[in-house]
Structure 1
């Protein structure tokens, strides 16, 4: 299991910085619009970027406290920290979920 920011340590600046990138916002938007608590493979988001760039995007999301990531052998599973984010920043996920895709 990869390190995770504690819920009370999630900072708005880090979250907004992570969400400033359209690829990362797409990942979060897809997770918001998926069934609650479903784990997805990091490769399932259709990001047209290299493997190293994809890894970087997920690292930024994880360090900002937006996602929880688990290594599963040759793949990584990711889930949205929906409860933590809704408690800390009410309405944020709804705004992201309603955004049009780029």
Structure 2
């Protein structure tokens, strides 16, 4: 299986922003931001996603936009964030997006209805 990955100078801001504009893909990138190599199944488990076919599409979008590396390893694919390439191409972009995501998640938790006390 040959997977298409753009060269660092082929990564485009519109592709990166479009890829990260989807909540599932953004959540996957947040998981990968912890560093290291992850297999697809472990990321699916963290995200709580059960449809591998849906995630296949999301992995392709992230890979072809230059956000992730994806390569076969046995019966699975391994994934890693292209942090170095993205930081070199668009300094601070990924940090800003992930920080904004964390703030949005915190704000959503702060506004969740609290159960009534006894």
Q: Same fold (TM over 0.5)?
A: yes
Q: Which residue matches 2:27?
A: 26
Query: Could you report, residue by residue, the CA deviation over 1:23-68 in whole angstroms, capped at 9, with x for unpaired residues?
Result: 1001111122x13xx1101121233241110110000000000001
What do you get for the CA RMSD once the two structures are aligned? Answer: 1.6
Q: For residues 1-102 of structure 1, what are the structure 2 equivalents within 5 Å?
A: 2-32=3-33, 34-35=34-35, 38-45=36-43, 46-47=46-47, 48-98=49-99, 99-100=101-102, 101=105
Give the structure with higher Rg (CA).
2
Q: Whole-Å Cα distance in 1 between the matches of residues 65 and 56 of structure 2?
A: 14
Structure 1, unpaired ranges of 5+: none
Structure 2, unpaired ranges of 5+: 109-118
Per-residue deviation at 1:74?
A: 1.1
Per-residue deviation at 1:92?
A: 1.3
How many pairs align? 99
Q: Whole-Å Cα distance in 1 between the matches of residues 89 and 50 of structure 2?
A: 31
Q: Whole-Å Cα distance in 1 between the matches of residues 93 and 42 of structure 2?
A: 23
TM-score normalised by the chain length of structure 1: 0.88
Higher relative contact order (CA 8 A, sep 6+): 1
Query: Could you report, residue by residue, the CA deviation over 1:72-98 in whole angstroms, capped at 9, with x for unpaired residues?
Result: 121100011111100011111212332
**Structure 1: 4+ residue segments shifted above 4 A:** none
